[in-house]
Amino acid sequence: MSQQTAKLSLPNGEELDLTVLSPTLGKDVIDVRALGKAGYFTYDPGYVSTGACESKITFIDGEKGQLLYRGYPIEQLAEQSNFEEVAYLLLNGELPSKEEYENFVAKINNHTMVHQQMMNFFNGFRRDAHPMAIMVSVVGALSAFYHDSLDINNPQHRDISALRLIAKVPTIAAMCYRYTVGHPFVYPDNDMSLAENFLNMMFSMPTNDWKPDPVLVKAMDRIFILHADHEQNASTSTVRLAGSSGANPFAAIASGIACLWGPAHGGANEACLNMLREIGDVSRIPEFIERAKDKNDPFRLMGFGHRVYKNFDPRAKVMRESAHEVLDLLGKHDDPIFKIALELEKIALEDPYFIEKKLYPNVDFYSGVILDAMGIPTNMFTVIFALARTVGWVSQWHEMIGEDDRRIGRPRQLYTGATEREYTDLNKR
């Protein structure tokens, strides 16, 4: 990592030399730690201009529309790899050999079951509870059952906790769905891939021999890969901040799930489906397009454009292919919701307004269409997002815990409240 120096003149006339750090990819970063010693702090709401950590896991170039996992383009991984291999890559930094891959999958399969007593947790929830509410609770409770590996300073404990989370979260996610619809829980089948196993635990019944269609398995596997990590977003930063205090990994991941639950983060594909339902019919699309172009109208087209990607979402092209494969398999191109989605897609790719503003369909648009076509209720969309992102969260947590200069997160503030004042007795106020 190359270094330069930037000079900063302070209001008191003092000059500070600040180190400029150059990454392997991306923009240079100014190390501002010397400011604190000089009695100043930076002010950056939302941390949008602040690098809070050093990481080797994921890189995004929003201008180019580029997403790399450990240097590998997301498009290549989604087309040629599978979720288990990507999980190994994110955790370990390199793609596995055949032997390493087989050993890794075997280790995951060894942990797919959850403790039988965890079944009792579900009976304490109302049947109409949101699956994310159940997810936050049950994942956080894992530490009460697997406290044999909670020493975060022990590399072996960290490894086994990582494997347990990657293996058990899909099982818990499927249980959340089964509980809310009143269906019996389905045990994992370790002869299946992670994506196939998840669909099997979601939809199979003890009364029939159902197996997920390979097209649906491939689509789900891609959804998992494309959502596995996304640099230092809100939920990942939450996991790192919670983990910086020394909290156990199950608690740290539960904090990430809680953050992801927010509609501004993990609920984007759910919001997209709700928008399609609000439009209701293809004939109403022009009305909503005009509303989207009107700056004074609060309506916004969900699933178009992206806060990070200023060009196009590199995940969307792969997801678009899967969306059409799933619609072809299930014969749902004539479904009203999907007709609206396809017409909106066509307009976004041709309308000069959308092209100029670079409001291309993003990954949330297509993943929402796919999940809905599969028969997955919208309140499960964020749960599936959390399932996929667990791999990234665990990798980021694992990297952070291994840092030599790890410190507990402690953001500063710009205080604008009352200055010091004297207390007045209640009877004199």
Which value, to the nearest 10 degrees, does the dihedral of the CA atoms of residues 369, 382, 84, 71 take?
A: 90
Start-end of H helices in 110-245:
119-122, 131-145, 155-181, 194-203, 214-226, 234-244
Pairwise CA distance, residues 409 & 19, whole Å = 21
Residue 142: name the closest of 103, 111, 180 by CA.
Answer: 111
Tell me the two tokens of residue 112.
Answer: 């797919």
Amino acid at site 395: S
Q: How many angstroms separate the CA atoms of 231 and 52, rounded? A: 12
The answer to whether 201 and 383 are in contact (CB under 8 A) is no
CA–CA separation, 58 vs 239, rounded Å?
Answer: 15
Active site residues: 306, 364
The sign of the CA dihedral 219, 221, 222, 226 is positive
Radius of gyration in angstroms for the set of CA atoms belonging to the chain, rounded to a whole number: 24
Distance CA 303, CA 292 (A): 12
Token pair of 373 as six digits: 């076509």
CA 423 to CA 429: how far, in whole Å? Answer: 10
Q: What are phi and psi for residue 282, nearest 5 degrees?
A: -55, -35
Q: How far apart are CA 338 and CA 342, in angstroms?
A: 6
User: Tokens in use for 381?
Assistant: 């969309």
